[in-house]
A and B are shown apart, each in its own frame.
Chain A
Amino acid sequence: MGEFVIKLPDVGEGVAEAELVEWMVEDGQAVREDDVLAAVMTDKATVEIPAPTDGVVSWRGGKIGDVLAVGSPLVKLEVVGEGNAAEMAEAAPAPAPKQEDAPKPAPAPAPAEPPAQTPAPAAAPVMPTTQRSAQMGSGAPRAEGEKPLASPAVRKRALEGGVDLRRVMGSGPAGRISHEDLDAYFNKGASSAGAGMARVANTSVKDIPMVGLRRKIAQKMALSKSRIPHITYVDEVDMTALEALRGQLNQTRKADQPKLTILPFLMRAMAMAIAEQPQMNSIYDDEAGVVHQHGGLHIGVAAQTDGGLVVPVVKHVEARGLWECASEVGRLAEAAKDGRASRDELTGSTITITSLGKMGGIVTTPVINHPEVAIIGVNKMRTLPQWDGTAFQPRQMMNLSSSFDHRVIDGWDAAVFIQKIKALLESPAMIFIED
């Protein structure tokens, strides 16, 4: 650390001394280059003395009202590096007049040239001497009716950005509007624009490359929607009984058993429905013209991850019980979210369930996971009034929105399939009846 001595500069023609009228800094205060340190007054003008360098104020030479000779020390700063105290002492052993020859660390700013920055925010407000801030290049608006001044490139950018240049402050000489001024106007946007400011059209376009998982999803979706004529079928399911059962099972579950969601119930119901309608559990190779009807039921469960949609697969649902389904779904969902799911765990599904949980909405139009032929969509469960023949009853209702490949599945069969699942879910005991 070194010491940097700031002397009172020659503030005006023929003036040998000046009165200290204000301190903008205090002992120990950190200042940045160009921060105003003090104001001194001669009989001609009041002049602000800026800091020529960064540092910490270690000494102030006088109090308000003191008359200081030009060249006498005004402020000492503790600075990083050597400072100038030594050379100052050498160069100026004698007092005031001779110091004209000494290097001037802080030449007086000419009144016409305002400092580049406004005073340090921490400093005392610079009240009496800040008329100049009003003259600062940045800010002076044009007189009414005057044309804005800007280069052709700036004009073109403003036009394309939907900006009326008459509203933009020009910081350049004669109020010329620079690219930076336009940037500032764009960044300020409509938020802090205040009354009378127009909302600014944002014409920026950000190019986001479609790579990795996102591209994979895009390709899959385009393939599904372009190849498969979807038929979507929606029906509502009264989940009240199932919810009661699920609640009881969750309350009485063993420590090593997972918490049940409705997914394992749905999977078991699907297994039973598919036993009657095996065509739902198929892979359609449309190029070869063959439908591969699978014996094993591998249900893909669409899961949202940070990177996008992935579909881990619960294999052989036909051979798994309720609890087993639940733990497998839980395990796969975790693995998918952490990005640990293996390729094997993410492929091989023969039918898919998609659920957005609480975000499930009323109806969706699910996109079939090509080359499968069906997808079951779970919507949000809500308590709704239902007419039981004599009165409205609060029932927990949930829609199933399901899509089928209409090339392979007829609408009638799709409806029969969903009605079967609906019946099973509404009377959940039937799910557990082995015939």
Chain B
Amino acid sequence: MTELKCKLLVIGAGPGGYVTAIRAGQLGVDTIIVDMDALGGTCLNVGCIPSKALIHAAEEFHLAGHLSQGSPLGISVSEPSIDLRATMKWKGSIVKRLTGGVGALLSKAKVRVVPGRASFMDGKTVEVSHADGTTTIRAENIVIATGSRPVELPFLPFGGKVISSTEALALKKVPDTLAVIGAGYIGLELGMAYAKLGAKVTIIEAMDRILPTYDAKLTRPVLKRLKSLGITLHTGARAKDLSKDKTALVFETKDGKRAQVAADQVLVTVGRKPATDGWGREAVVLDMDGPFVKIDAHCQTSMSGIYAIGDVTGEPMLAHRAMAQGEMVAEIVAGHTRVWDKIAIPAVCFTDPEVLVAGLSPDEAKAAGYKTLVSEFPFTANGRAMTMEAEDGFIRIVAREDNHLVLGIQAVGKGVSELAASFGLALEMGARLEDIAGTIHAHPTQGEALQETALRALGQALHI
């Protein structure tokens, strides 16, 4: 048993945790980070990054197949095939590069990495158990960045055919049939990817539409694409069980009828829950906010000197939120004055087409008591979108009627995730419609549609 001391201990080396540690290290704070798994957490190992790799591979494969059936672009190719093991190996190499990079950054910032499972002994002491025994770490400040886990359905526990997103990102062959439970962004991203890879995909959603947390109009192009990809969607339906012979998923349709669909794999993506156990929470008695650890505007928990960031603290469970929180906490621990004052946390669904939201939706703005101007500009009127065969979708701006302050920007369309930067910047800088309208947007790009949306809100659209 060894004993260590530090000024800052970070539990969990996901995007929130490792960013906290790097920033703290940069600021000269003596920092230790603990994780029982690989550096990078869910995001780098079994989340954001590998899923984007798989989505890209699926898109490429699908495109090749599409072209093999004749293309108006004048390209002809023969029918493609895919070796999913090779795909996964390539995916693994990207993950390895990134997690290795995190390790290098941590060591450059002079952060000590202690692998193992951390558990609170008291508010200042954490015990880390690992293969070589235990390490006791005494820390002046502790950051809980334990993240989240996939939610399991009690009647369809993970194992065998029933898989979570983690396993779905490591399949050895493309299943002939795939049933996806849950039409949130994870289920749709993976469901669409496997459909493009050749699986016959069926999606079961309990609510009456896909992406229920996004406004319906924004999700319509995604719904259209689901159909064109041949994905079967059952909304208002409830998954029940595996069939007796374990070859199919049994579910109850909207009308209450029992039905079943053949499924080599059943992917359960019904959400993620905060990882609030397994690290000795009972030893420190923290106030909770529902299932989440309760935090204040400084990410401090109910116990002084203990902070919590990322998925364990609530929605939206997004890596970039955790990173921003982590940066702030590191600076607070280093003695700076900081407070959580962000205006927008953009969120992206890497579906086909992509969905991007930042700030308030039209309904949220109304609910907040604003009189609003809502303006949309379709990609059908955007030259660049036409040249990319990506005319589905639009950009929408929600602004205050009185002073034209932009409250929210949403988009759906191919590749719109890259517009998150300008959406976020506009909101964080407090742009008015006139500011976006008055900014030269490069031609020909999809981003021009943002300027046109603002112009349209002002009654001055040029290209529609």
Contact = CB atoms under 8 A, between A and B. Distances in A.
Contact of B403 (A159, A160, A162, A173): A173
B367 interface: no
A152 B428 CA distance: 7
B264 to A, nearest CB: 49
Contacts, number: 32
A173 B430 CA distance: 9
B430 A174 contact: yes
A173 B434 contact: yes
A229 to B, nearest CB: 36
Contacts of A156: 338
Interface in B409-464: 428-430, 432, 434-435
B405 interface: yes
A70 to B, nearest CB: 29
A174 B435 CA distance: 11
B331 to A, nearest CB: 10
Interface in A195-221: none
A174 B338 contact: no
A162 B339 CA distance: 12
Interface in A357-387: none
Contacts of A149: 405, 430
Interface residues of B, number: 15
Interface in B329-358: 336-339, 341
Nearest to B331: A156
B281 interface: no
Nearest to A147: B343
* Band of interface residues on A: 10 to 19
Contacts of B273: none
B336, B428, B429, B430 interface centre (most CB from chain A within 10 Å): B430
A151 B339 contact: no
Interface string A129-153: 0000000000000000000011110
A324 B438 CA distance: 84
A173 B336 CA distance: 30
Contacts of B430: 149-151, 172, 174, 176
Interface in A158-211: 159-160, 162, 172-176
Interface in A83-119: none
Nearest to A151: B429
A422 interface: no
A155 B341 contact: yes
Contact of A174 (B339, B341, B432): B432
A149 B339 CA distance: 16
B404 interface: yes
Nearest to B430: A149
A69 B135 CA distance: 92
A149 B406 CA distance: 11
Contacts of A150: 430
Contact of B432 (A152, A155, A160, A173): A173
B370 to A, nearest CB: 10
Contacts of B403: 173-175
B23 to A, nearest CB: 15
B432 A151 contact: no
A263 B53 CA distance: 89
A156 B432 CA distance: 21
B341, B428, B434 interface centre (most CB from chain A within 10 Å): B341
A156 B158 CA distance: 46
Contacts of B429: 151-152
B186 to A, nearest CB: 30
Interface string A306-344: 000000000000000000000000000000000000000
A174 B405 contact: yes
Nearest to A156: B338
A45 B432 CA distance: 29
A200 to B, nearest CB: 14
B153 to A, nearest CB: 41
Nearest to A143: B402
Nearest to B341: A155
A151 B341 CA distance: 11
Contact of A151 (B336, B337, B404, B428): B428
Contacts of A151: 428-430
Contacts of A160: 336-337
Interface string A291-313: 00000000000000000000000
Given A151-B428, A159-B339, A174-B403, 19 more contacts: A149-B405, A151-B429, A151-B430, A152-B341, A152-B428, A152-B429, A156-B338, A159-B337, A159-B338, A160-B336, A160-B337, A162-B337, A172-B430, A173-B432, A173-B434, A173-B435, A174-B405, A174-B430, A175-B403
Interface of A: 149-152, 155-156, 159-160, 162, 172-176
Interface of B: 336-339, 341, 400, 403-405, 428-430, 432, 434-435
24 contacts: A149-B405, A149-B430, A150-B430, A151-B428, A151-B429, A152-B341, A152-B428, A152-B429, A155-B341, A156-B338, A159-B337, A159-B338, A159-B341, A160-B336, A172-B430, A173-B403, A173-B404, A173-B432, A173-B434, A174-B400, A174-B403, A174-B404, A174-B432, A176-B430
